[in-house]
Chains A and B, each alone.
Chain A
Amino acid sequence: MVSVRIGALDRKLLRDIWHLRGQVLAVTAVVMCGIAVFLTMRGMVESLVDTRDRYYAEYRFADVFANVKRAPESVAARIAAMPGVRAVETGITLEVMLDVPDLAEPATAQLISLPDGGSPRLNRLHLRSGRTVAAGARDEVLASEAFARANRLEPGATITAVINGRRERLVIVGIAISPEFIYTLRPASGLPDDRRYGILWMSRAALENAYDMDGAFNRVALGLEPGASERDVITALDRLLERYGAIGAYGRGEHLSDKVIRDEIRQDSIYGGVISAIFLGVAAFIVHIVLSRLVAIQRDQLGVIKAFGYGNRAIAAHFVKLALLVVVSGTLLGIPVAAWLGEGLAAIYRDFFHFPHYEWQLSARGLAMSVAISAASAFTGAYVAVLGAIRLPPAEAMRPPTPARFRPGWIERAGFQRWLSMTERMVVRNLERRPWKGALSVLGLALAVAIIVVGRYGIDALDRIIDVQFRATLKDDITIELNNPRAAAAIEAIAQLPGVIRAEPFRAVPVRLRAGHREKRTAVIGFAAQGNLHALVDLDYRATPMPDEGIVLSTKLAGQLGLAIGDRFMVELLEGARRSEAVVLAATVDDLVGLGAYMSLPALNRLMHEPAETLSGAYLTVDPAARERLYRRLKEMPMVRGVSVKESMLANFRDVIARSLLVQTIANIVFASVIAFGVVYNSVRIALSERGNELASLRVLGFTHREVAAMLLGEQLVLVLVAIPLGFAVGAGICAMLVMALDAQETMRLPLVFSGRTFAFAFVIVATAAMLSAFAIWRRLRGLDLIAVLKTRE
């Protein structure tokens, strides 16, 4: 008996679903998008964390790193004997200039030694192709995958390097990756540039020979015992290495590649969380309006069902099943979409992050979580409607509803009504009668707008970062770094190079800043206060003049050190005389990239007790016509350690970013359109079912299809027009929250800026989706059955 009853109710449910198929599909699509975003991002985060952790463990990524000028190999044993240290790997590293076939500009490589005979104890390499270098081979190298790929170098290719002043021909015998360089970024340069910067591994014996480093090392990596205190080891290591010219040991927290990956994981999880929350919120909202309407339409049917003795539980289950159907089908559809999107993103990530094997993957737990979250959102949406159905007394339900009560709202009481036509009054009163319903629609639409704004915000922020950092702050064409600090004569020599229009010196000194118990490793850049090619510019393009005395810190860095302008703090110079000096924080600059520290060139050199004009690099502006000649000369200059060419770096970066943003932008457009369409379609569709009688009556009275559609769609137009500016505000608000959540990032900070194009884009997408759904309704209005309407009471 019971099963027969439920069977009948279920048949009703199936018919209702069929009848509401358009709306059910729209909700399902929104749920699908929410689940897809959630799963994509969650899978991304899970697989990044998982892949990274396994890579680190299997290839023994070190815990502590330190560089020195030169330390005898015997020190290694003393390091190994320190408490908490499990493994020590010493080596030699230096930056060299490269001449790469088919590349006009000079490239820079970090040369790293490989122990001869046997693989390193820490930071092991994963060979992608070719073979490893032969012990002691002077002319063999392994190239990092990113560099090799960007320059299309296969095993067997040759490149030329300037090693200790001599041009050496090197054969690439293999392509490798290392847990130390999952993401390759040249220290001190803001952007990745795999064409012009790479890692080359070489036989330790060969490097010792070339650089006169027999029985010595200049880099050391430590693996720690589980539970060992990193801080204690670093302190002990610094003390031990101090007299060998150490520039400060650091843990994984300050490891560049690791930091970038951590930032990425953080970004992904925050972004994924925010976006999926929007979707699931909208899904809850649509489930709510669809079910509420269903309950309202079916109040008489529900009354009958109750009168015949169905309990509240059966009624509630009836509606909950509908919500469940949406969740289950949305999730089932969302999984393949997520897998597809995830694999697409993973393909892009493989260009940025070099793991032995990287794939988008999802744990059963993530899956279960997504189902739980979407079910929760659907049930939240169903709750109010179901409660309404349960509360409905059977007798009340069977009485016909009295005509909806209207009264003139505030717009008319304010006296505007004489300017409104009858149909406009209908629009105004319908909106005023149920402001909550309109408000929910507006909110849904605003979220669609917001999704696009949030999605495109990354592009705007990046544009601003690039513009501030590489146009307003650094105004040079080429930055040159020298091997060692040089006297003023060097800048004269550089200025004489072909094509150089202007050359300005700078000095970079590695330092450790100490304020109380807080400390931070960075480099102080000293440049001419009256120079043209480097300025202190904040995210809003406000310039900070370089003071003659004292130091300027990035606002972020000053904050981390707890310093205010005027405070004195200690600068430990990690080069030359290696002394600690007190300096005054003269100003801060709210910049966007890195943790910068700046002084005027003479002031920095005074601090170093060196001649005021000493430089370690130069900013150049050059004549484009003479670039090729300049590059050729630079490649042969022994005193030059590295060259970065701004245009090439930016072009390369834009290229890489454009590719990754494309997928995200497309996904965003699709998702936002689904939301906009889902919201508009549902609210119009419901308005149509609520007011079908009214509209059909109007048609009978001689109003045309167009006039009737205008009344129905006019209401939606008002909602869309209110929603769009609100969406801009909501989007901006969400971005502001993202910025706050990502504030801990050290590599880059996001400025809260939006381009007009982002708003225009959001407007066009949402307006188009709204128009499409209006069109669907327009066609439905054509099929309105005029006679059926006259036969029924409602």
Chain B
Amino acid sequence: MQVQNGCMGNKPVFRVRGVSKVYRMGEVEVHALREVDLDLYAGEFVVLLGASGSGKSTLLNIVGGLDVPTAGEVHYLDHDLTAATDEALTRFRREHVGFVFQFYNLIPSLTALENVSLVTEIAARPLAPDEALRLVGLGDRLNHFPAQLSGGEQQRVAVARAVAKRPDVLLCDEPTGALDFASGKVVLEVLDRVNRELGTTTVVITHNAAIAAMADRVIHIGSGRIAEIGANAAKASPAELSW
């Protein structure tokens, strides 16, 4: 496995070392993550699989600078995310990370185009907002408000919003969780295309094992630990997936 990663000829962009996350609720301690070590490489497409409550979201949030671990270190290139202030984490997210959430989290008072513009306005070298929406196949829905879009369309706007800033990393927490088969597939195709065409490092959390086939690497998480890391010799295209 290591060899294979080495073959990609890339240095890791994320280095996660000995990361633990403990939630204390009175007497009870919940160990969401236990001493996780992990590297993520530039341009790879990673799928995180694991049972509910295994710690996937916790890991993704820490990598994305939304949360800080109880112990251990996380480095993004030469940024130490564990030692960063709130301001520094905000800057990190603003400059490098694109998020896609299970519940879309669009701004209801802004149209599709404006939701995307919201992010491109604060990005250094963004795509044109309408171009990003065309990328997800919503070129004809630019001026619709979220309430006027279907769930799948809202999720595609969320993807467009995430990719429009040309992030270095794209982090997606169950992006297809709330979608039907067809909509889910469209979203995955967009993610795949962005990963290939823009070279964005992409991490996707899913409960859907079928999706794992389109990844470079599949990371299995169980009880807060990395249980297994598998690599796909040949990636499947989203069109080939079925569930």
Collect the chain B residues with CB atoms within 8 Å of residue A698's CB. 107, 118
Asked if A740 is at the interface (CB within 8 A of a chain B CB), the reply is: no
Asked if A363 is at the interface (CB within 8 A of a chain B CB), the reply is: no
Quick one: which of B67, B103, B109, B121 has the most chain A CB within 10 A?
A: B109
Cβ contact within 8 Å between A406 and B108: yes
| Closest residue on chain B to residue A792 by CB atoms | B103
Cβ contact within 8 Å between A703 and B94: yes
A423 to B109, CA, bound (A): 10
Collect the chain A residues with CB atoms within 8 Å of residue B161's CB. 701
Interface residues of B in 77-100 (CB under 8 A from A): 86-87, 90-91, 93-95, 97, 99
Cβ contact within 8 Å between A703 and B109: no
Cβ contact within 8 Å between A426 and B66: no
Asked if B198 is at the interface (CB within 8 A of a chain A CB), the reply is: no
The residue from A402, A430, A705, A787 contacting B66, defined by CB atoms under 8 A apart: A787
Cβ contact within 8 Å between A705 and B86: yes
Cβ contact within 8 Å between B107 and A702: no
Q: Given A422-B118, A790-B173: A404 and B108 within 8 A (CB)?
A: yes
A534 to B145, CA, bound (A): 73
In the assembled complex, how far is the CB of residue B172 from the closest CB belonging to chain A, in whole angstroms?
12
Question: What is the number of residues of chain B that contact chain A, defined by CB distance less than 8 Å?
Answer: 34
Collect the chain A residues with CB atoms within 8 Å of residue B86's CB. 705, 782
Cβ contact within 8 Å between B109 and A787: no
Encode contact with A along B100-112: 1 for CB under 8 Å, 0 otherwise: 0111011111100
Asked if B155 is at the interface (CB within 8 A of a chain A CB), the reply is: no
Question: What is the size category of the interface that chain A forms with chain B?
Answer: 20 to 34
Cβ contact within 8 Å between A425 and B106: no
Collect the chain A residues with CB atoms within 8 Å of residue B93's CB. 700-702
The residue from A407, A697, A705 contacting B145, defined by CB atoms under 8 A apart: A407
Asked if A121 is at the interface (CB within 8 A of a chain B CB), the reply is: no
A792 to B104, CA, bound (A): 11
A423 to B110, CA, bound (A): 9
A172 to B101, CA, bound (A): 91
A259 to B146, CA, bound (A): 69
Q: Given A701-B99, A790-B105: A422 and B117 within 8 A (CB)?
A: yes
A354 to B181, CA, bound (A): 89
Collect the chain A residues with CB atoms within 8 Å of residue B117's CB. 422
A789 to B61, CA, bound (A): 12
Collect the chain B residues with CB atoms within 8 Å of residue A407's CB. 145
Q: Given A404-B109, A406-B109: A422 and B121 within 8 A (CB)?
A: yes
Interface residues of A in 769-794 (CB under 8 A from B): 782, 786-787, 789-793
A404 to B93, CA, bound (A): 27
Q: Given A694-B107, A697-B105, A701-B99: A403 and B90 within 8 A (CB)?
A: no
Cβ contact within 8 Å between B97 and A702: yes
The residue from A421, A429, A693, A702 contacting B90, defined by CB atoms under 8 A apart: A702
Encode contact with A along B166-179: 1 for CB under 8 Å, 0 otherwise: 00000001000000
In the assembled complex, how far is the CB of residue B30 from the closest CB belonging to chain A, in whole angstroms?
14
Collect the chain A residues with CB atoms within 8 Å of residue B110's CB. 406, 422, 425-426, 429
Cβ contact within 8 Å between A403 and B147: yes
Additional pairs, 18, CB under 8 Å, beyond known A422-B118, A697-B107, A705-B87:
A402-B147, A403-B106, A404-B109, A405-B147, A406-B109, A429-B110, A699-B90, A700-B66, A700-B99, A700-B101, A701-B93, A702-B94, A704-B90, A790-B66, A790-B101, A790-B102, A790-B105, A793-B103
20 contacts between A and B (CB under 8 A): A402-B147, A406-B109, A406-B145, A422-B118, A426-B107, A426-B109, A429-B109, A694-B109, A697-B101, A700-B105, A701-B94, A702-B90, A702-B91, A702-B94, A702-B122, A705-B86, A705-B87, A782-B86, A790-B173, A792-B103
**Which 6 residue pairs are nearest across A and B when measured between Cβ atoms?**
A702-B94, A697-B105, A702-B93, A429-B109, A403-B108, A422-B118
**What is A's interface to B at a CB cutoff of 8 Å?**
402-407, 421-423, 425-426, 429-430, 433, 693-694, 697-705, 782, 786-787, 789-793
